[in-house]
Amino acid sequence: MRKSFVFFLLAVPVMLFMSCSSSTYETRGISSRTYYWTASYYGKKFHGRSTASGRIFNMYGKSAAHKSLPFGTMLEVTNISNGRKVIVTVNDRGPFVKGRQLDLSYGAARQIGMIQTGTTRVKARIIGRERGYVKRVSYSASQGPYTLQVGSFRDRENALSLKNVLRHTYGGVYISNVTINGISYFRVCMGKFRFRRLAEKTAERLAGEGYGVMVIAYDERI
């Protein structure tokens, strides 16, 4: 009886920890792969601006940019030169510089001691994905031609930034301007699809990366 009681006391904290962890991120279906990359960092110039995922960049936070990993991917990043580690969440795209594979926020770079060098070799291990970044495709068009809305902004510069990021991977990216209730919005859109099933195929891929995608009626580009 005493052994059972001791086991219960030990098990409860573990169960509570697992319960709390699973509510914010998931590991099921996530491939725990390890990569060896060259990392750089970015900070003040982009602080407070919208990232490719739509989240606001906080240079003091623990985030990262990668060219293709789904938004919300959690990485344990180790500075190979000193062994220091940090856990970051991918919420942006980049770096678009030859020879670099990962861009860390200033806060993450400071934690692993790479501010002075600017770049460093790192070991990056995928440990999970934050649930809040998992997206589903939504629809607002009943008939074609269709296009995909990947973002909508009141600030044209944010729209242009997302457009430039998407163009590194996708074709047919454009911006359309709409006015709703007297307010002007800049929509970042992609493609012109005659058939809904073709639009859905690309939309699902984008949603899998973590973009909030809406299938809408095609509009003229600007």
Query: Among residues 176, 96, 94, which one has the least CA distance to residue 105?
Result: 94
**Both tokens assigned to 190:** 């992609």
Q: Render pLDDT for 125-142 as a digit per residue (tens, 0 to 9).
A: 999 999 999 999 999 877
Query: Among residues 49, 66, 173, which one has the least CA distance to residue 126?
Result: 66
63 close to 102: Cβ distance less than 8 angstroms: no
pLDDT of 18 higher than 80:
no
So where are the chain's domains? Answer: 25-133, 138-217
- Displacement of CA 83 from its chain's centroid (Å): 26
Distance in angstroms (rounded) separating the CA atoms of residues 191 and 172: 5
Please write down the HEC assignment for all residues of 67-78.
Answer: CCCCCCEEEEEE
Q: Render pLDDT for 54-106 as a digit per residue (tens, 0 to 9).
A: 999 999 999 999 999 999 999 999 999 999 999 999 999 999 999 999 999 99
Query: Among residues 118, 114, 108, 121, which one has the least CA distance to residue 74?
Result: 108
- Name the CATH architecture for the domain at 25-133: Beta Barrel (2.40)
Looking from the CA of 173 toward its CB, the CA atoms found within 13 Å total: 17
Distance in angstroms (rounded) separating the CA atoms of residues 204 and 215: 10
**Both tokens assigned to 180:** 């709703």
pTM for the whole structure: 0.78
Distance in angstroms (rounded) separating the CA atoms of residues 93 and 123: 19
pLDDT of 20 higher than 70:
no
Query: Among residues 66, 61, 52, 63, which one has the least CA distance to residue 153?
Result: 52
CATH topology for 138-217?
Alpha-Beta Plaits (3.30.70)
Beta bridge partners of 215: 139, 148
